Amino acid sequence: MATSTVLITGANSGIGRACAQAFASKGWNVAATMRSFENAQALSNIPNVRTYQLDVTDAASVSRAFSDVEQAHGRIDVVVNNAGYGLMGVFELMTDEQLRDQMETNVLGLMRVTREAIRRMRPHGAGRIIQISSMGGRMTFPLYAPYHATKWAVEGFTESLHYELRDLGIAVKLVEPGLIKTDFAGRSGVAVLPEGASPYGAFVAKFGAAATKALADAVSPTIVADTVLQAATDSSEKMRYPVGKPAPMLLRLRKLLSDKAFFSAIRKAYKI
């Protein structure tokens, strides 16, 4: 039986790197793709892993990477759409350019990779596309409005897409991480916060303090990688995989509680 091949975007750090390591440990051929090779060395030394340049905002780059991987391994069985970042802060202060960049990477970039995956998988009548969404794709926190907009878009896009792909043998899955120890708030994040006196100052300070405390409970990205591997090998029609505290609990509450009750719980938790 031929060895399966997975292509992972945004594989140079965090969840993407953990996924590359997890798949490689199970004997998969791993195409670890990234926009820049800044941290590629750590992956290049792992057996079964090859690194490729792929910028999700560039259609030519996406197509070239898929072609290179197919040339090396024959076909791509699973694609993990992980590339993305978080734009957080006060919406009123954000520029059109910042909003476009967030949508371009998290939504349009994911769609470009998904479209290319479909083109490559359809002739084989099989394939899995796994979108790294977020618990923030079905609920929200303060100061992440554009980021949540992208993840809600990913959820709706994927749910609708599964209807047209089902008869082609291509499955789409959504992995919804909770609080994970990654560089999401650092290199992979953009913050737009008020400077000096601002009507938003007290709100931002309160939320920031509570959010920092909440991040102390964040779990390792390897937990997400294990769930991605599960989704890649799960033959059921399950679509959503919440993972990592407090995603499973909060998503259940969001479904059970009224808007008023849930919003009140979030405000209380973050002291706002």
Contact 257, 265 (CB under 8 A): yes
Which positions are catalytic? 133, 147, 151
Q: Which two tokens stand for residue 162?
A: 């599964």
Residue pair 179/215 in contact (Cβ under 8 Å)? The answer is yes
Beta bridge partners of 31: 7, 50
> What value, to the nearest 5°, has the Cα angle with vertex 110 and ends 107 and 116?
140
Among 33, 72, 80, which Cα is nearest to 53's?
Answer: 33
- For helices 259-269 and 247-256, the axis angle rounded to 10 degrees is 140
> 113 with 52: CB under 8 angstroms?
no
